[in-house]
Structure 1
């Protein structure tokens, strides 16, 4: 019974994660987020940076309206 009480009183300790391990994940997340924002919110098909990508526009068309981005 005393071992259960001792285990209940133990505290969790914080783990220090070095910045060198978090920066690649943060940059990757930022790049993916910006790409999603561009394709869902900005890309209009005719004014696309990647040529005629109306296919991408049509794939995310309903998501654009659901998220409140004007489309046409």
Structure 2
């Protein structure tokens, strides 16, 4: 029994358009940091919004992510 090997095609280089992806990556990074601030630190001395509306809105997500709040 003989083994016949077919020639493998050359891999096609993939070019990632960094100039098109970079603005979206920065936008998503800033959005993630803002969300992390509101979930993790929006209370007490660092509060940007007065009252407890933001705290109550993200309360369950805060516990789910392991942030203490009480």
Q: TM-score, normalised by structure 1?
A: 0.69
- Note the C-alpha offset of 1:10: 6.1
Q: CA RMSD in A?
A: 2.2
Which residue of the partner structure matches residue 54 of structure 2? 56
What is the alpha-carbon distance in structure 2 between the residues aligned to residue 12 and residue 52 of structure 1? 57
Distance in 2, Cα, partners of 1:63 & 1:31: 19
Identify the structure with the greater helix proportion.
1
Which stretch has the larger CA shift, 60-69 or 14-23? 14-23
User: Residue 46 of structure 1 contacts residue 54 of structure 1 at CA under 8 Å; is this kept in 2?
Assistant: no
Aligned residue number for residue 44 of structure 1? 43
Could you tell me how far 1:46 is from its partner in structure 2?
6.0
